[in-house]
Structure 1
């Protein structure tokens, strides 16, 4: 399997979710994943478990982890951050999560695969489908 490594540094004021979508578009990623993301955010917006509540906070947070699957049409991304006291907040990344000083992002793109999403009636969500693009 061929893997392309894409490294991007995001800067203060950039929206993390929108920036990921821009990287996917710029690099024509058909199937990708987030390998690493280190940095900090000043504004956090998450969809919490159960998809009924959102959490919005404005304070300094360190990014603990970011992971997700990247398709052309959709980036399914989860993030965990820690506050000044070490409390961890996590959930589904939403637009409105704003980079504070920096975020160092490493993405893997898989040229032999194509990720798509299709509605799964059993979950009520669009779920990942994987095809070989040989």
Structure 2
């Protein structure tokens, strides 16, 4: 069984912070961010397999936004396009600021629990999937 959620963010909202706050407020144990659209005035994106953060100034259009949701951690990938149509992507981090609006659609899996634990092989916190009784 799943539960669907939708959330609209407003100008000035931090995408990462607002998403995690929504997950915690609604006590979503395990979920997916299915889609997100909107505009950003600035973006901070952690590049693949790097500690480096890419800083982009807007206007930026969100092209894709998806990932997994837990109470303590959201693992979200984002891609944005600038005014020239160049696309940048990676891991969503705090500092992606909504310029006009952003619309998010999510689902919660009522039969699963998601947790994150440090994985020595990858060097990152990774998803652990548990069945609910």
Note the aligned Cα RMSD (angstroms): 0.8
Number of aligned residues = 133
Measure the CA separation in 2 of the matches of 1:49 and 1:133. 32
TM-score (norm: length of structure 2): 0.97
TM-score (norm: length of structure 1): 0.96
Give the secondary-structure state (helix, strand or coil) at the position aligned to 2:23.
helix
Deviation at 1:26?
1.2
Deviation at 1:52?
2.6
Measure the CA separation in 1 of the matches of 2:127 and 2:7. 25
Deviates more, 1:50-59 or 1:29-38: 50-59
1:1-134 mapped onto 2 (5 Å cutoff): 2-134=1-133
Measure the CA separation in 1 of the matches of 2:128 and 2:65. 21
Structure 1 residue ranges without an equivalent (≥5)? none
Structure 2 residue ranges without an equivalent (≥5)? none
Give the secondary-structure state (helix, strand or coil) at the position aligned to 1:49.
coil
Measure the CA separation in 2 of the matches of 1:52 and 1:13. 25
Measure the CA separation in 2 of the matches of 1:102 and 1:53. 27
1:9-46 Cα shifts (integer Å, max 9, x gaps): 10100000001101101110000111111111111001
Following TM superposition, the consecutive aligned residue runs of length 4 or more in structure 1 with deviations greater than 3 angstroms are: none
